[in-house]
Structure 1
Amino acid sequence: MRTIFTAALLASAFATPALAQERAPFTGPHIEVTGGWDRLTGSDGNGGHKDGFVYGVGGGYDAQVGGVILGLEGEVTDSTNKVRANNVLVAGDSTRVSAGRDLYVGARLGYAVAPATLLYIKGGYTNARFGQRYDDGVGNFSGGHANADGYRLGAGIEQKFRVFGPGGFVKAEYRYSNYQNLNIGNANIDTDFDRHQVVGSVGIRF
């Protein structure tokens, strides 16, 4: 009898972590790779919009309580995108802005609508680097790089995908970002660039 009782206790001890993992599948640290569509536009309408490709890596940590998920996340991306704007400082001038690396830190709030499916919203701080080439319209050019602070809001869906292992997942996400106060032509100008992105991610949770 003592042997049976001891065996039952050991089985319970080993089963409890596995059961907790099944009940909270969105808990723990994770890493991912991301890629997708990137649209950059000047909200003043001067340069219209341009489409490009965004790509990068990210990671974070989530904690699940019942069906609610709270998480912190970070991301580093780059982009092929660039946009041109006219009449920035004076009539006849122009600038070409090329998107570079983008650093993001934020939080997300989600709800597990199924044991393997998470819907979430997110928001946080983003800092993007832009390369500029400024033409004053009378033959003088200047250029360089500048960083711009902004904010990001988004929403997405995450699905566990065991092809990548027990912690594998895929994500689809839309996010909107806004950046201001670029240094163009040796002047600090409120250029107010908007950014729309639709991305997919593949990752693993540990």
Structure 2
Amino acid sequence: MKRFVAAALAATVLATPAFAQDDANFTGPRVEAIVGYDVVGIPGVSDPDGVAYGVGLGYDFAAGGMILGLEAEIADSSTKIGDLVSDRDIYVGARVGTVIGQSLLYAKAGYTNARFEQDGFGGANGDGFRLGAGLEYALGNNMFLKGEYRYSNYEGDISRNQVVAGFGFRF
């Protein structure tokens, strides 16, 4: 699975120049779908991994030569070990970036809340924070591809490392 996700991300990054157009736009409302590799760190348990997938929305604007944005995302994951399942993940945060040609290089930070469930014992929500960085590549004026790394840390010393790819539209 790890090799498949890495190969898909590499193919996406290498194929995108063929779609490029001259007018990149990184401002305004956006909606996107994401998929990628998810590893959950649980104290005392080997780190389970799986596939993360979800949808996000945001709004970006130009300010002083930079791009600033607000964003929200709801995601899920196939990550599980035994009867312990990593369930939905909600994120709300901000990002700041700079335009480099047809690309937006950005960093992000915000609040995240994940649900972890165990068969027969119900589930628990964990509040935390997320930090990340990524590269968004404009496919013309209103479509984009992105690659992103994100680290989340939740209550109970539970953590999450993800590498995701996304495809989205700006309006």
Q: TM-score, normalised by structure 2?
A: 0.82
Q: The residue matched to 2:109 in structure 1 has which SS?
A: strand
What's the CA shift for 1:41?
1.3
Counterpart Cα distance in 2 of 1:60 and 1:70: 10
| Residue-by-residue CA offset, 1:39-91 (whole Å, 9 max, x unaligned) | 0112x3x212111000010000000135300000000000000246xxxxxxx
1:201 aligns with 2:169: no
Q: Which residue of the partner structure matches residue 179 of structure 1?
A: 154
Q: Which has the higher contact order (CA 8 A, sep 6+)?
A: 2
Q: Which residue of the partner structure matches residue 130 of structure 2?
A: 152
Runs of 4+ aligned structure 1 residues displaced above 4 Å come to none
Structure 1 residues 57, 63: CA separation in 2 closer, same or farther (over 3 Å shift)? same
Counterpart Cα distance in 1 of 2:167 and 2:115: 25
Counterpart Cα distance in 2 of 1:175 and 1:122: 9
Q: Which residue of the partner structure matches residue 88 of structure 1?
A: none
Counterpart Cα distance in 2 of 1:62 and 1:83: 38
Q: What is the one-letter code of the residue matched to 2:123?
A: H
Counterpart Cα distance in 2 of 1:158 and 1:98: 30
1:54 aligns with 2:32: no
Counterpart Cα distance in 1 of 2:94 and 2:76: 21
User: In structure 1, which of residues 65, 86, 106 is the aligned counterpart of residue 93 of structure 2?
Assistant: 106
Give percent identity, aligned residues only.
51
Contact 1:67 1:113 in 2 (8 A): no
Q: What is the one-letter code of the residue matched to 1:204?
A: F
Counterpart Cα distance in 1 of 2:127 and 2:81: 18
Paired residues in the alignment total 149
Q: Which residue of the partner structure matches residue 138 of structure 1?
A: none
Q: What is the one-letter code of the residue matched to 2:107?
A: I
Counterpart Cα distance in 2 of 1:34 and 1:67: 27
| Residue-by-residue CA offset, 1:162-183 (whole Å, 9 max, x unaligned) | 3xxx300000000000111xxx
Contact 1:40 1:83 in 2 (8 A): no
Q: The residue matched to 1:25 in structure 2 has which SS?
A: coil
1:120 aligns with 2:106: yes
| Residue-by-residue CA offset, 1:97-136 (whole Å, 9 max, x unaligned) | 211111000000001122x211000000001111024xxx
Contact 1:81 1:99 in 2 (8 A): yes
Counterpart Cα distance in 2 of 1:132 and 1:124: 26
Q: Which residue of the partner structure matches residue 37 of structure 1?
A: 37
* Residue ranges of structure 2 left out of the alignment (5+ in a row): 1-22
User: In structure 2, which of residues 72, 75, 79 is the aligned counterpart of residue 74 of structure 1?
Assistant: 72
RMSD: 1.5
Q: Which residue of the partner structure matches residue 143 of structure 2?
A: 168
Contact 1:118 1:158 in 2 (8 A): yes
Q: What is the one-letter code of the residue matched to 1:32?
A: E
